[in-house]
Chains A and B, each alone.
Chain A
């Protein structure tokens, strides 16, 4: 698909004097990380296909501060939060959708006390909503039909905020064979990236967390590991490589699977 994506910014919307239905919070990973950018693009393809009236902040978006907060730098977190809130409130944002559970959690839970009150949705929740309202029809795809897929619960989506069903509902709609790992939902094992671990070497131990989690996934004999978080995606991709299974098993975001199934 070579057609260009339509990605209006809030500034453009403002200039046109219109308020989009929803703000897409891309997040730092989704903006800069090569693997995560594919997820971002896949999600936008879905938005474009359904003609969702959305916008991004573009260069006005800044890191949510989630990772700084969890590293212990509350000061930096609140500086980021206050700055972002000023921009979001300036644009009178009401609803935000994001493909990053870390942004989701921070915007939804930690911004309100600093003056930022928005209805925040994870992209799987938003896509599910589009589906339920009949705006998006997900057809059982021939490419994915019957494929064995396991879903890795991102900590900040699942345990962190109790969102377990939306991603699973979407996967089932695709007509895939959804298999659960032995540790799933509330007892899902972390991919190893949270709490700022993504940005540092792990402490000394017997194994890396992402490898252990990848072993959980490989045990299910799934050929696709689905996730809903750019960091989980990186960690699981690395884990699959560490297990030398990259030719048999791929790691995909739910948005990518949907875009692929719908041939977007």
Chain B
């Protein structure tokens, strides 16, 4: 009978981690629905980016208030989670604070955890106030209603509760408190429980201990359904992020092939296509499967902070475009496609929907000035601009659906080599004008 808690703990742990692993598999499958893209270059620069941007939070602190608070929560989260290791060992072996055998250093570390727990708690409350009382504009844009809005708050509540549980657990641990070391914060919480019997205290301590670890497992599993996935995906995402200058857009290889063929004087225009030629690629993207997998990884990594949207010139001037919405739409559609595949035994069945039109409107796409402000603003190297461009490519090259003025501009370039209807022979006239 005495092994019951240990067995129960093992079951909870395995279930929690197992379910998470199942969703991670789904996540990877969904990301792999994207087209292949070669990101095997420049490994050292990529590692450097990951270390600087994800691990080092270098872009977060560009906005000092949010940045510093975020660093506190991030550092606190990582360091306090060392405690989880002890909880797991204790839970499985039925020990109590197994690491305390090392003596003094243990209590120093717990002191640090307690201080961090308070700092995280305070930071999270400030985050909550920024979202809900001060109502920072970027958290109240059109795309931030219903789930995205609740999601943001749920995460904050989760963190508040977890930190509280950790401190209560320490405060009601009479054995721990009696050492009177490592309880730098929790000693002030202990008096809340004064007058309670040893056994009640023990029950509270055990409850806090169990809720703490169960809470962490629930939080872990919550990630897949939440914008909070960024705590994991920020790392691969910054690794695979764009390395070329922001102004540089990729050249479509499928187009290069066709253009080279057209320009080749030796080619026989009437020759039948070779037997083994692949069907012509779709130009641009109308759905998530037309995007590359890094773009899909981008979508899952987005934590909806809205820094991109708050710097987007189109959005700042009241247009419908919001780079954050582009990422959220991409993720929502990708999830929908993933569920479709799950339902239909691993094959996607046409559901009559697509990213273009059903999620992202052409009005949003044409409002983009391609200024890269969103790419620059993103603290985790997401590139919304590349998705906008792919969808414009689809509109123009597959559907000839550019705005009329742009069609005129392009016709001019085709005919005169300039976006205006001027004669190519007049290109040097400026020389003699005053």
Residues of A within 8 A of B (CB): 2, 4-5, 7, 9, 26, 28, 30-33, 37, 40-41, 44, 56, 58-59, 61-63, 65, 67-76, 78-80, 82, 105, 108-110, 113-114, 155-156, 159-162, 186-187, 189-190, 192-209, 211-213
Residues of B within 8 A of A (CB): 244-249, 251-252, 255-256, 258-260, 262-263, 283-284, 311, 313-314, 316-321, 363, 366-373, 375-377, 389, 391-397, 402-403, 405-406, 408-410, 413-414, 417-420, 422, 424-434
Which residues of the other chain, B, contact A156 by a CB distance below 8 angstroms? 247
**Contact of B417 with A63 in the complex, beta carbons under 8 Å:** yes
**Contact of B428 with A63 in the complex, beta carbons under 8 Å:** no
**Contact of B372 with A160 in the complex, beta carbons under 8 Å:** yes
Residue of B at shortest CB range from A40?
B430
**Contact of B425 with A79 in the complex, beta carbons under 8 Å:** no
With A28-B418, A67-B419, A109-B245 in contact, is A74–B427 under 8 Å at CB? no
**Contact of A63 with B372 in the complex, beta carbons under 8 Å:** no
Which residues of the other chain, B, contact A206 by a CB distance below 8 angstroms? 317-318
**Contact of A205 with B419 in the complex, beta carbons under 8 Å:** no
Which residues of the other chain, A, contact B409 by a CB distance below 8 angstroms? 67-68, 71, 196, 199-200
With A63-B413, A109-B245, A162-B245 in contact, is A195–B428 under 8 Å at CB? no
With A76-B410, A110-B251, A209-B369 in contact, is A7–B434 under 8 Å at CB? no
Taking the nearest CB of chain B, how far is it from the CB of A238, in angstroms? Answer: 14
7 extra A-B contacts, CB within 8 A, seeds A199-B408, A203-B367, A204-B319:
A31-B427, A32-B422, A32-B426, A59-B425, A71-B396, A72-B395, A73-B402
Residue of B at shortest CB range from A7?
B431
Complex: A201 Cα to B409 Cα, angstroms: 13
Among A113, A159, A207, A211, which residue has its beta carbon within 8 angstroms of that of B251? Answer: A113
**Contact of B427 with A197 in the complex, beta carbons under 8 Å:** no
With A105-B245, A110-B248, A161-B247 in contact, is A203–B316 under 8 Å at CB? no
**Contact of A74 with B428 in the complex, beta carbons under 8 Å:** no
**Contact of B369 with A63 in the complex, beta carbons under 8 Å:** no
Complex: A156 Cα to B418 Cα, angstroms: 19
**Contact of A208 with B317 in the complex, beta carbons under 8 Å:** yes
Which residues of the other chain, A, contact B367 by a CB distance below 8 angstroms? 202-203, 205
For the complex of A and B, the 7 pairs showing the least CB-CB separation, nearest first, are A160-B247, A206-B318, A72-B392, A195-B370, A62-B417, A205-B318, A109-B248
Complex: A204 Cα to B314 Cα, angstroms: 10
**Contact of B396 with A72 in the complex, beta carbons under 8 Å:** yes
Residue of B at shortest CB range from A32?
B422
Taking the nearest CB of chain B, how far is it from the CB of A8, in angstroms? Answer: 10
